[in-house]
Amino acid sequence: MSESVSVGAHPGGAALGRRRDPARRPAAGPGARAAHARKLGVRTIALGYLALLLAAPLVMIFYRTFEHGLIPVWNAITAPNAVHAFWLSIEIVAIVVPLNTVFGIGMALLLERGHPRGRALLGMLVDLPFAISPVVVGLALVLVYGKTGWFGDWLAAHGIQVIFSVPGMVIATAVVSLPFVARETVPVLRELGTDAEQAAATLGASRWQTLLRITLPAIRWAVVYGVVLTTARALGEFGAVSIVSGRIEGQTQTLPLYVQDRFENFDVTGAYTAAVVLALLALATLLAMNLLARRSASRTPV
């Protein structure tokens, strides 16, 4: 393309164009075909991998759920323990996600704008829940908050039960979904730089005004993405919650725990139905984010 422009522009360009062409063309024929084949190969592998690991199992779950028609599914959905598990999952998400969003934004601001001592160490601490197995998190929480734990006596004396009840499940879920918002927001804050914030300050904005009007709007998509990941993680959390909840039917069973319980009791339809509900909730979260992103993108070109 550049050649044809310079040919028209001045004679020197034409000579240059002629000289350059033969060097490129011969390589283009077979080279392009090979590149095409490579691209196809890569795509096949990527899609095949996805199909094998993700699509096929998902499709199977949907298929097995609705295998015997809608009536067993309806019965499974309206079973009291299923309904309870659904609402408990929603409740935990509704508590954990706002908490971790505020914490995540605050931590990201501290890491990127606060110049804390031991910044690297702090960043590693935030990432720790990613590295530790959720089961370990659950056990650790039992050690701290359980009957024989550090705070056990104190909590028991004040009539607060953390382990084997909802507060413990909220804490466990909060721990395992802790890093998402901060991890998504930190690189965006770094990339953003401090110029706009400093400009706001020279224009008379207080720190609070700068945060609300400049920084938060600039990082909003990172935060939204972090929130979606947090939600998905909180909805699906099994290991840590499994340990701290005690899995009491109709009391401390979240949807994933309920799925496990149904599966172990050979109630296949119940297990699959709950699994489908979980999958649909996750899909709805993703969809909501996409819609939000698209609507906002049509309004502001950023």
Partner 1 sequence: MAIEVRNVTKRFGDFVALDDVCIGVADGALTALLGPSGSGKSTLLRIIGGLETPDSGTVAIGGRDVTDTPARMRDVGFVFQHYAPFKHMTVKDNVAFGLTVRRRPKAEIRERVTELLDLVRLEGLADRYPAQLSGGQLQRMALARALAVQPKVLLLDEPFGALDAQVRAELREWLRRLHDEIHVTTIFVTHDQEEAMDVAEQIVVMNLGRIEQAGTPNELYESPRNEFVMSFVGPVNRLDDMSFMRPHDIQILPSNDGEGTEALIERVVHLGFEVRVELKLEDGREIWAQVTRERAHELELHEGQILAVRLPPPRVFTPSA
Residues within the interface to partner 1 (CB under 8 A): 195-196, 198-206, 209, 213-214, 217-218, 300-302
Closest to partner 1 by CB, 211 or 288: 211
Q: Are 205 and 213 in contact (CB under 8 A)?
A: yes
Closest CB 207 distance from partner 1, rounded Å = 9
Closest to partner 1 by CB, 112 or 237: 112
Closest CB 150 distance from partner 1, rounded Å = 43
Query: Considering only CA atoms, which of 170, 204, 203, 191 is closest in space to residue 90?
Result: 170
Phi/psi for 265 (5° steps) reads -95, 20
Return the ∠ at Cα 37 (arms to 31 and 43), rounded to 5°: 135
Cβ atoms within 10 Å of 255's Cβ, excluding its own:
24
Closest to partner 1 by CB, 214 or 281: 214
Closest CB 185 distance from partner 1, rounded Å = 16
Closest to partner 1 by CB, 166 or 192: 192
Closest to partner 1 by CB, 161 or 209: 209
Closest CB 300 distance from partner 1, rounded Å = 6
Closest CB 8 distance from partner 1, rounded Å = 23
Q: How far is CA 137 from CA 7, 128, 144, 194, 237, in A?
A: 68, 10, 11, 36, 12
Q: Are 96 and 230 in contact (CB under 8 A)?
A: yes
Q: Give the dihedral of Cα atoms 57, 230, 214, 302; nearest 10 deg.
A: 0
Closest CB 191 distance from partner 1, rounded Å = 12
Closest to partner 1 by CB, 47 or 199: 199
Cα 49 from Cα 45, distance rounded (Å): 6
> Reduced to 3 states, what is the DSSP secondary structure of residue 83?
helix
